[in-house]
Amino acid sequence: METNFIHPSLILIIGALLLPLVKEPFRKIYLCVVPLVTFLNVLYLNWHPGTYGVVTFMGDWTLTFGRVDNLSMIFAFIMSLMAIIGTVYGLHVKDDVQHIAAWFYVSGSLGVIYSGDYLVLFLFWELMAFASTFLIWFNKDAGSLAAGYRYLLVHTFGGVLLLLGFVLRYQTTGDLSFVQLDEQNTQLFTWLIMAGLMLNAAVPPLHSWLPDAYSKATVTGAVFMCAFTTKTAVYTLARAFAGFEILIVLGVIMAIYGIIYAMMENDIRRLLGWEIVSQVGYMVAGVGIGTALAINGTCAHAFAHILYKGLLFMAAGAVIHATGKSKFTDLGGLYRKMPNTLFFLVIGGISVSAFPFFSGFVSKSMIITASFESHLMVAGFLLTMVSIGTFLVAGLRLPYLIFFGDDRCSQETKDAAVDPPWNMHMAMAAAAFLCLLIGSYLPFLYNMLPYQEATYHPYSGYHLSETLQILAFTAVAFIFLKDKLGARPTISLDLDWFYRLGGRGFLWLATNPIQWLDTAWGTAYRVVGLYTLMTTAKFSAWFDWHGIDGVVDGSAGCVKAIGQRVALVFQRGHIQQTIYYSITFAAILLISYVWL
Amino acid sequence: MIVNLIDYLKERLRTVKLLSGIAVAIMVVWTVVGVDTHHAHTWMEAHIPGFWSIFTLLSCIVLIFFVRWFGKSGIMTREDYYGD
């Protein structure tokens, strides 16, 4: 059967461009229909795997826009599904450009997932970075503009690393196709490409942009951002770097690093950002392990993660949307005011903490099991420890500090705190339902995994007992030690210190030595340059006055004198004589023209 | 509904704590006696009773105290550190 290939990104891009033309009452319907059509298109493509959209570019480059295979299918599915949920969550936003930026961002992600070569990948990669920057800039809070610039600069740096990598690879191998790289024969370009992709996955030391940017984005923008950039990067790592052992080490470091910073954090969305770093650490480690089960686990965890992290960001966004506060030190004891938000936050929290029957239980354990099966005991135990930390932070600390415990709210915060509008409720309910569905009805997720031959059964007695012990005793430890994890009005220094203070150093350089040089240059210019210029100008004025004007005035005087003489001879006031002279002159001209 | 449930439980905090404690105890007994540790990943899990309970408590203590020490070592700093 002939398959009609329409790139899902194209639908979103055209839909975004037409959005300003659509007015209420059709606008809300339109906002739902465009991502829905994109999702249906992705479903259609998932039923017809193959390679589409292959075009020849500038003679000898082959670009592939549509590689639909086992790995891209599951990622495209969850990305387009999240686009619907995210758009419904932001349905109340009147500002068209926010929706346009979000849709361009999603189309970038889908484009990367379906791309078959580095040129197309790079095109959509940059589209993602560029579009998502606007999701930060649209936030009116103090610091968002600067955070957006930092985000853009860091991602431009990552993009340049990626570009350098694949151009070097093209020079060496003459190949642009985006496929698994050879671990045995690594070269400079391998590491450059890996670093470029890892920056988007927020792998330390290239991770600081994530909590920085996500905490400064708009409420709805953060819901989009938490899903797409890192998980698209995980997809690209799984595509090109499966089985690279360094990723196991980096992934485990990342998981621990993220959870430690999340435990210290005072800002809700920064905490969730650190949680992303930690959870993506599992996925990066899974890519590094590289076995069929580990890659399945990575895909499953990315799938589950997008939904529960989206849910957590949506619930956190609902709190910020209502109260305008994002710090634990300004919140607390709000459960009476926002009970539904509490409910959804807890669903997200217990999904990320791997409660039985929720999504984390069936996805995270796959990666941990894969590491034990590959005899990576240390990695397995450390990842389990992080999973304990995850429950401490997202399942207990987060809801406790917002909704229970000491009331640190001001009177305005308390008055403003209400459950969010209906569209936010709907989006959160959909994500919560999917978290439950994934955890309770295994075929929904497991039938989409890339390696169907690698089977995994999460609901074994042993796994249940292990999980219940972990959850119960983490809760016990939290009850006794929760004061140590209380709300503190601090920020935590991280590796962004280097470029933030590096930036300040550059500013100092600019304001001091470079400014001095500029001033000195300005003075020198005034003294030497301006004097010379004035002297030259004076000379040319004199020359103009006396030389050129003299010539012009002289010739003008001459013409005037001749004219007067001529007029005295010819213009005596007799019309006949004037006509006679004129006609004679014309006749002489005519005759000379004919004969000569 | 949710608010009522939470308030109901809060009023009976002592009972809730007691019941939770009993539930945890039953769970631990079940894991020691009733669970087949045949599929355990490592020797330790199969031979130390309640291995994951001990592991969890130790992990929590290590994590929380490390974070307190790490934060106090200068990582946690004032909010206007970067001047914004």
A376 pLDDT exceeds 80? yes
Across chain A, what does the average pLDDT equal? 91
Report yes or no: A383 and A258 within 8 Å, Cβ to Cβ: no
Helix A219-240 / helix A96-114 crossing angle, nearest 10 deg: 10
Tell me the average pLDDT across A93-102.
Answer: 93
Helix A96-114 / helix A27-47 crossing angle, nearest 10 deg: 0
- Percentage of chain A beyond pLDDT 90 is 70
Residue A143, pLDDT score: 87
Chain-chain contact of B66 with A264 (C-beta, under 8 angstroms): no
What are the b/e assignments for A346-368, b being 16+ CB within 10 Å?
Answer: bbbbbbbbbbbebbbbbbbbbbb
Tell me the average pLDDT across A395-404.
Answer: 93
Residue A596, pLDDT score: 62
Distance from CA of A203 to the nearest CA of B (A): 20
Looking at chain A from residue 355 to 414, which residues have their Cβ under 8 Å from any Cβ of chain B?
369, 372-373, 377, 380-381, 384-385, 388-389, 392
User: Taking Cα atoms as reference points, which of A130, A235, A160, A216 lies closest to residue A208?
Assistant: A216
Q: Which helix (H) or strand (E) holds A54?
A: strand A50-57
pLDDT in tens, A202-258: 998 889 999 999 999 999 999 999 999 999 999 999 999 999 999 999 999 999 999
Residue A114, pLDDT score: 95
Structural domain spans, chain A: 1-240, 242-491, 528-595
Q: Taken in order A564, A566, A572, A574, is the CA torsion positive or negative?
A: negative
pLDDT in tens, B19-31: 999 999 999 999 8
The one-character DSSP state at A208 is: T
* Six token digits for residue A282: 């599992």
Chain-chain contact of A335 with B3 (C-beta, under 8 angstroms): yes
* Six token digits for residue A150: 């930092």
Distance CA A565, CA A237 (A): 96
Q: Which helix (H) or strand (E) holds A63?
A: strand A61-68
CB nearest B84 (choices: A146, A460, A478)? A146
Distance from CA of A324 to the nearest CA of B (A): 18
CB nearest A470 (choices: B23, B52, B71)? B52
Residue B31, pLDDT score: 87
Residue A282, pLDDT score: 96
Distance CA A222, CA A89 (A): 11
Tell me the average pLDDT across A584-592.
Answer: 78
Tell me the average pLDDT across A488-506.
Answer: 84
How confident is residue A519, by pLDDT bands cut at 50, 70 and 90? confident
Chain-chain contact of B57 with A339 (C-beta, under 8 angstroms): no
pLDDT in tens, A115-144: 999 999 999 999 999 999 999 999 988 889
Report yes or no: A105 and A86 within 8 Å, Cβ to Cβ: no
How confident is residue A513, by pLDDT bands cut at 50, 70 and 90? confident
Q: How many beta-carbon pairs below 8 A join chains A and B?
A: 133
Q: For tokens 């959909």, name the residue.
A: A430
More confident residue, A75 or A522: A75
Least CA distance to A504: which residue of chain B?
B82
Residue A570, pLDDT score: 62
Burial class (CB in 10 A: 0-12, 13-18, 19+), B47: exposed
pLDDT in tens, A566-578: 666 666 666 666 6
HSE at residue A266, side-chain half, CA atoms within 13 A, is: 17
User: Taking Cα atoms as reference points, which of A311, A282, A312, A340 lies closest to residue A434?
Assistant: A311
User: Which DSSP string corresponds to A288-354?
Assistant: HH-SHHHHHHHHHHHHHHHHHHHHHHHHHHHHHHHH---BGGG----TTT-HHHHHHHHHHHHHHTT
How confident is residue A440, by pLDDT bands cut at 50, 70 and 90? very high
Report yes or no: A268 and A326 within 8 Å, Cβ to Cβ: yes
Residue A594, pLDDT score: 67
Looking at chain B from residue 16 to 35, which residues have their Cβ under 8 Å from any Cβ of chain A?
23-24, 27-28, 30-31, 34-35
**Identity of the residue numbered A388:** I
Residue A595, pLDDT score: 64
Is residue A20 within 8 angstroms of chain B, CB to CB?
A: no
ipTM computed for the complex: 0.93
Distance CA A113, CA A49 (A): 14
Burial class (CB in 10 A: 0-12, 13-18, 19+), A481: middle
* Six token digits for residue A302: 């990315």
Distance CA A275, CA A410 (A): 28
Looking at chain A from residue 103 to 142, which residues have their Cβ under 8 Å from any Cβ of chain B?
142
Residues of chain B with Cβ-Cβ distance to A488 below 8 Å are: 76
Least CA distance to A263: which residue of chain B?
B67
B84 pLDDT exceeds 80? no
- Percentage of chain A beyond pLDDT 70 is 96
CB nearest B60 (choices: A343, A477, A488)? A477
Residue A140, pLDDT score: 87
Give the end-to-end CA distance of chain A in Å, rounded to a whole number.
85
Tell me the average pLDDT across A526-550.
Answer: 84
Burial class (CB in 10 A: 0-12, 13-18, 19+), A19: middle
Report yes or no: A200 and A132 within 8 Å, Cβ to Cβ: no
A325 pLDDT exceeds 80? yes
Burial class (CB in 10 A: 0-12, 13-18, 19+), A39: buried
Tell me the average pLDDT across A167-177.
Answer: 92
A587 pLDDT exceeds 80? no
CB nearest B39 (choices: A460, A473, A478)? A460
pLDDT in tens, A2-46: 567 899 999 999 999 999 999 888 999 999 999 999 999 999 999
Looking at chain B from residue 47 to 66, which residues have their Cβ under 8 Å from any Cβ of chain A?
50, 52-53, 55-57, 59-66
* Six token digits for residue A401: 């500090």
Tell me the average pLDDT across A478-491.
Answer: 89
Tell me the average pLDDT across A338-346.
Answer: 95
- Please name the residues in contact with A136: beta carbons below 8 A apart, sequence gap of 6 or more: A144, A147, A148, A151, A213, A216, A217, A218, A221
**φ, ψ of residue A546 in degrees (nearest 5):** -85, -40
User: Taking Cα atoms as reference points, which of B66, B71, B63 lies closest to residue A490?
Assistant: B71
Q: Which helix (H) or strand (E) holds A52?
A: strand A50-57
Q: What is the pTM of this model?
A: 0.85
Chain-chain contact of B63 with A392 (C-beta, under 8 angstroms): yes
Distance from CA of A298 to the nearest CA of B (A): 20
A1 pLDDT exceeds 50? no
